[in-house]
Amino acid sequence: MEKSKTLSSIRRDIEGHIGEKVILKANGGRRKILVNNGVLESVYPSIFVIRLEADTQRTVTYSYSDVLTKTVQLVFKG
């Protein structure tokens, strides 16, 4: 059984991976899952920013509550 996480613990976990490559799985709605590769660029108090590898000019932002509710899943490549 997975221990429940709080927003602050999720934020601390993500802060430790700044600059690392990540696989991003996001719920696109209507049973659509979007999968992208990117780099965790920066972390702010309520959001984090990922620069997508497919398009160097595009960044996406998500909140820590998206991770908590499993709307977004992050897999760190290390």
| pTM listed for this prediction | 0.86
Sign of CA dihedral 64, 70, 72, 75: positive
Task: At 4, list the tokens.
Answer: 């429940």
Please answer whether residues 47 and 58 qualify as being in contact, where contact means their C-beta atoms are separated by less than 8 angstroms: no
Task: Sketch out the chain's domains with CATH numbers.
Answer: 7-76 (2.30.30.100)
- Per-residue pLDDT of 1-60, as tens digits, reads 355 689 999 999 999 999 999 999 999 889 999 999 999 999 999 999 999 998 778 999
